[in-house]
Amino acid sequence: MRLGVLDVGSNTVHLQVVDTHPGARPNPTFNYKEELRLTEYLDPQNNISDEGIIQLRLCIQRAISQAKSVQTTELLPFATSALREADNGESIIKALNGEFEIDLQVLTGEEEAKLTFLAARRWFGWSSGRLLVIDIGGGSLEIAVGVDESPEVAVSLPLGAGRLTKNHLVGDPHTEKSIRNLREHIESQLDEVLPTLVHHQDNDRAIATSKTLRTLARLCGDWYGGNGKIIKVEAMRKMSIRLGEMSLEERTRIPGVSANRARQIVAGAFVTESVMRNLDLPELEICPWALREGVVLKWMDWMES
């Protein structure tokens, strides 16, 4: 069975096609991605602008065309924080579903956390014990903890790297004041969920997913030694400050950091450092699977039931 997972996120519209069958590991066969940065089309009234709707429609049209070109048998489209939080998000989704005859579903932040946790659990297996899973997207941060396939705790906070960059960071390089304000905002948001998370803090492995965290792990390896698959809190303390002192052009020249990621990597680094410090996590281990794989796994479980 060839499944297409269409992820309408805050940064990108990303189609991932996998071949799978019940009980099988999803095997990636095709990827198509466009940078849209949907949150940049939000107007002061918290609506996605007409231009943003046009660009989103075109991105989805092209993604669906790509899915058809590789004979995808089923399309699983979902949207995350950008459309979830926009005041006109519901009407946009209704129009897209009608025009393209798809079933674009909006995931809640908790659902994102749970699906990402499922992907990490399946990747590492039961022997990995109790997992704490962290995912940083463009619009939100998800954290989930548990010993089963469904986490005991799943939380989502508006601490995505793209959102924080847009709302808090100014200047190039970013001003010290804006970085200080960013850090204070991150800490205040984490304060709301720390009591719950600390209560469930006794984990066997701390896991990181998402492109932002994979990029940070690679930089940890390049700058401070390692294999590029581990994020150490000592390295994050140094790296967040170092990245914050760089200009956008300097960050873009870092090997393996895309232009889009270079814009957001500072905010992503400070979120990562803050989460690790507050939860007393010495290191995070990168998981190749994340939300899109979780969507596939959940759908296949549903097909088997």
Please give the backbone phi and psi of residue 80, each rounded to the nearest 5 degrees, phi first. Answer: -115, -140
Predicted local distance difference test score (pLDDT) of residue 109: 95
Q: How far apart are CA 84 and CA 250, in angstroms?
A: 33
If you count them, how many residues does the chain have?
305
What's the CATH number for 2-106? 3.30.420.40
Q: What pTM was computed for the model?
A: 0.95
Closest to 264 measured CA to CA, from 211, 196, 204, 195? 211
The overall average pLDDT reported for the chain is 95
Residue 173 has pLDDT above 90, yes or no: yes
At 159, is the secondary structure helix, strand, or coil?
A: coil
> Tens digit of pLDDT for each residue in 118-154?
999 999 999 999 999 999 999 999 999 999 999 999 9
Average pLDDT estimate for 224-230: 92
Does residue 304 carry a pLDDT above 80? no
Residue percentage of the chain with pLDDT more than 90: 89
- Beta-carbon contacts of 296 under 8 Å, excluding residues fewer than 6 positions away, are 3, 5, 18, 20, 26, 76
Residues 262 and 252 sit within 8 Å (Cβ to Cβ): yes
Q: Let me know if the fold of 2-106 is the same as that of 125-286.
A: yes
b/e burial code for range 241-280 (CB count within 10 A of at least 16 → b): eebbebeeeebbebeebeebbbbbbbbbbbbbbbbbebbe
Provide the pLDDT confidence category of residue 15 given band limits of 50, 70 and 90: very high
- Measuring CA to CA, which residue among 111, 177, 157 is closest to residue 271? 157
CATH topology for the 125-286 domain: Nucleotidyltransferase; domain 5 (3.30.420)
For residues 147 and 129, the answer to whether their CB atoms sit within 8 Å is: yes
Is the per-residue pLDDT at 305 higher than 80? no
Q: What is the mean pLDDT of residues 283-288?
A: 97
The pLDDT of residue 234 is above 80 = yes
Amino acid at 31: N
**Whole-number pLDDT of residue 106:** 96
For the chain, the structural domain boundaries read 2-106, 125-286
Q: Which pLDDT value is given to residue 200?
A: 66
Note whether 136 and 215 are within 8 A (CB). Answer: no
Does the pLDDT at position 201 exceed 70?
no
Residue range 45-73: average pLDDT? 97
Residues of the chain with pLDDT > 70, as a percent, come to 99
